[in-house]
Structure 1
């Protein structure tokens, strides 16, 4: 992983992922594509990590694709015809999709501009806290493209299809308050990073197994059949009941004391294969 992305894991289990190209408003070049994905993948099996906060250094979350790198690398490297394409998610989709594969809650703190690919990265998080003046756009149509970094597959869980279409067809810029109205952002915050960290701190104070299983339940169960969803609830909760961390949650809750939790269970996230 290059210095395009910095990962800092705090003692309380919060991993802070910083997009670290402030001089370019964290615009994405090939190196950054690979570094963002590597950062996410490094957290998937780290059982000490209980929550993730992703944000951009400097004046912006992410300005989208670095067009100068597109010119330098050429269409064979950056376009969809690249030899690196061939499976889903591909290299370019992975920078957004990897945050859905990270088993713990992922929170995006969004400020400045969040355009195109940058918005799709933020969409991959479980929650997004934005400044009211943040400028956001599904901007690909401006460059004769469509959203191709998993954004369409994530947006369907967040907003109405007519809103997604209008924003995609026009590429218009909208602010943080509008993003909340559309269902794209969770909440407006004066300081998105401080808000994201506060939410992460409330998460890491609880059982990590419950957080991971809850994320799994929503990821796999949100659009499944009613029968599958009910079975998923039953199956996952049965794995939690009586486990060491679940009993600690009961003990700490009854005594009104801080929970002393173990790292999450080895099998606490199945990535689509939840019945084991």
Structure 2
């Protein structure tokens, strides 16, 4: 177990990193310190080739309730004395976290064990998969405080659920139970109450058993293709197969297939 003030990090399964937001009294509302620690942990995950999947969840009964508006974040107090500092807080804080997750070429799973609202929903949507407990609530509550979807929600929400639905959610400060959120495009899979983490770890273990080279290249290709034409995407694919096809993992996959064995991928 690593030593942080606002997050917990461990490796409960081979090749799987688990990070828990650890401010349960605030429903894991993020603080300046939490953003710093998350960025450190994400960077460590990226650089460690032994780690193949990251699972992000919350300690206690919440995933993340967005930014901390309780004034409990002492690191934020002095920063907020000047109006321009509000923008700097976002740029150096949760903006860095969201961008770090979006730029990862390794998979990230959000295990949504409770409320994921406002910036907490943006954090979940920055992950590749969202496994939610059936009683978890998701939505954008920022409007209740006359705040904005400023952590990245203005970009992430419409891409997940469509512009009209995203506008309605934000303007009316709506939240949805997990199954409705799934129908709206915010959740990948809904599971029984209390099972989000277990199911996420199971998914992580299955992904970790795949070729890490193929997983990373496939994620990079699909993510980049969201902003490309078909022709541009195919050009990138042609470059990627020059890396993937000659790899030892492809040879191992073919060998295991014909011998009817489970492949053992190394990422080489």
TM above 0.5, yes or no, is yes
Q: Distance in 2 between matches of 1:153 and 1:94?
A: 15
Unaligned runs of 5+ in 1: 266-276
In the superposition, relative to structure 1, how do residues 175 and 83 fare at CA in structure 2: closer, same or farther (>3 Å)? closer
Structure 2 equivalent of residue 210 of structure 1: 214
The superposition leaves residues 204-227 of structure 1 with CA deviations (integer Å, 9 ceiling, x where unpaired) of 111000100011011111221121
Does structure 2 retain, via aligned residues, the 8 Å contact 1:117–1:149? yes
Q: Distance in 1 between matches of 2:165 and 2:214?
A: 33
TM-score between both structures, scaled by the size of structure 2: 0.89
Q: How many residues are treated as equivalent by the alignment?
A: 263
Does structure 1 retain, via aligned residues, the 8 Å contact 2:112–2:133? yes
TM-score between both structures, scaled by the size of structure 1: 0.87
Q: Distance in 2 between matches of 1:185 and 1:26?
A: 19
In the superposition, relative to structure 1, how do residues 71 and 46 fare at CA in structure 2: closer, same or farther (>3 Å)? closer
The offset of 1:102, in angstroms, is 2.4
The superposition leaves residues 107-139 of structure 1 with CA deviations (integer Å, 9 ceiling, x where unpaired) of 101022112111111111001011221112211
Does structure 2 retain, via aligned residues, the 8 Å contact 1:115–1:139? yes
Unaligned runs of 5+ in 2: none
Does structure 1 retain, via aligned residues, the 8 Å contact 2:32–2:73? no
Which SS does the other structure have where 2:175 is aligned?
Answer: coil
Q: Distance in 1 between matches of 2:78 and 2:146?
A: 14
2:119 aligned residue (117, 125, 130): 117
The superposition leaves residues 76-130 of structure 1 with CA deviations (integer Å, 9 ceiling, x where unpaired) of 44987228739x9642212222222222111101022112111111111001011
Matches within 5 A, 1:92-107: 92-107=94-109
Which SS does the other structure have where 1:8 is aligned?
Answer: strand
2:132 aligned residue (125, 130, 133): 130
RMSD, aligned α-carbons = 2.3
The offset of 1:75, in angstroms, is 7.5
Q: Distance in 1 between matches of 2:121 and 2:31?
A: 15
Q: Distance in 2 between matches of 1:27 and 1:78?
A: 21
Which SS does the other structure have where 1:201 is aligned?
Answer: helix
